[in-house]
Structure 1
Amino acid sequence: MMERRNCFQCKHFYTTWNPAFPRGCKAYGFKGRELPSVVVHHATGEPCKAFEVKGKASGSVQEKGGRTSSFDFRL
């Protein structure tokens, strides 16, 4: 059974603006229609070895002790 890798949780995954190749992997350096983990599995028969969980975004305004805006962006 294939060990599933969720590309959306990987730090190497990115979305492109090209509708023909909407998904990409920075670790392996390719773009395609399928999720990169699926492409890697089809090519190698093994789960993606480059998978790394995304870190949480650091440096938010709250963490820095700054003030948040009360401006309402909704129209």
Structure 2
Amino acid sequence: MTGNCFQCQYFFVTWDPKSPRGCKAYGFKTRELPSAVVKRSSGMECLKYEQKKGAAKQ
């Protein structure tokens, strides 16, 4: 499994209450975690995940 969206450099929080989470790499906003949307729509784990600089690895 790829990393946690919250630790990905492409993850962002939006001001949109209907779509509070987003992915800069794929260019979309969603209510769910972006990695869950990618997995459900493509059947594959997120291939764009990149660890944030300074984020703790788990």
TM-score above 0.5, yes or no: yes
**Please, which of 9, 13, 16 is the counterpart of residue 15 of structure 1?**
13
Could you tell me which runs of 5 or more consecutive residues in structure 2 were left unpaired when the two chains were aligned. none
Larger fraction in helix: 2
TM, length-normalised to structure 1: 0.69
Runs of 4+ residues deviating >3 angstroms: none
Aligned length in residues: 55
TM, length-normalised to structure 2: 0.88
Q: Does 1:5 pair with 2:3?
A: yes
The aligned counterpart of 1:43 is: 41
Pick the structure with greater CA Rg. Answer: 1
Could you tell me which runs of 5 or more consecutive residues in structure 1 were left unpaired when the two chains were aligned. 58-75
Greater relative contact order structure (CA < 8 Å, 6+ sep) = 2
| Alpha-carbon spacing, 1:4–1:49, altered in 2? closer, same or farther (3 Å) | closer
